[in-house]
Amino acid sequence: MNLINDAANKSEFAYDKLEKMITFRELKPGSMVSEKQLADLLELGRTPVREALQRLSYERMVEIHPRRGILVPPISLECQLKILEVRRDIEALCARFAASRVSPAQQSRMAALATELENCADEQDDSLYAELLKQIHILLVLAANNEYLQLAMAPLQGLSRRFWFAYKNDTTDLTEAAHLHAATLRRIVAGDADGAVQASHELNDYLTRMAHATINKSMRVN
């Protein structure tokens, strides 16, 4: 049993580390790496790294090319806008379900995360902010109590986070986004389903404006 738990922990550790390295471009967009390189980098065996890569492949964070290696996909403005189109209604549905199904323990954790995220934004701590954001996304799906939402949400949120951290310094900072995420959480905690949906839509509108601002700035530079 300990061996199974240890293997699961190693796989989760590999996933978390690789996801963060992709999000913060320590693994460069467009680069090709090997499973062995990643295993050596993380000082892990190849099995947990392979399991983590399978999960990241499902979430579209990497592309696995047999006999060639692991591709970290380029960051695409067009893809981000398409992601946000889909994410808008799925995340709003998740917020609506969560507002009516959230448990007292989840309400308490959501309230704490809302405050933690806003405090983190004031300190401009990107790494901690990214970790809190992942916790929020996981908790939203758990509170919605529908495992099929998790299948839909995980790729959308991961890729969206990746884009946002790549371009946020050009168009925005952490503060506005933190307040919008916190507003959604607080509406869910209050059991306000309509308010949670509205707050979720306002967050998506902000992310869409940010993506368009990135495109417009790029066009002015070019």
CATH topology of domain 77-221: Four Helix Bundle (Hemerythrin (Met), subunit A) (1.20.120)
pLDDT tens readout for residues 54-63: 999 999 999 9
Chain CA centroid to CA 42, Å: 21
Report pLDDT for 216.
58
Entry field: residues in the chain: 222
> Percent of the chain, pLDDT > 70?
92
Distances from the Cα of 207 to the Cα of 13, 20, 30, 87, 212, angstroms: 29, 20, 23, 11, 9
pLDDT tens readout for residues 129-178: 999 999 999 999 999 999 899 888 888 888 998 998 888 876 677 889 99
Report pLDDT for 4.
42
Of residues 2 and 181, more confidently modeled: 181
pLDDT tens readout for residues 83-127: 999 999 999 999 999 999 999 999 999 999 999 999 999 888 888
**Contact present, 161 and 59 (Cβ < 8 Å):** no
Tell me the whole-structure pTM to 2 decimals. 0.84
For 4, other C-beta atoms within 10 Å of its C-beta total 8
Q: Which part of the chain has CATH 1.10.10.10? A: 2-71
pLDDT tens readout for residues 187-222: 999 999 999 999 999 999 999 998 888 765 543 433
Q: Are strands 63-65 and 32-33 parallel, antiparallel or unpaired?
A: unpaired
Q: Which part of the chain has CATH 1.20.120.530? A: 77-221
Q: What is the CATH number of domain 2-71?
A: 1.10.10.10
> Percent of the chain, pLDDT > 90?
68
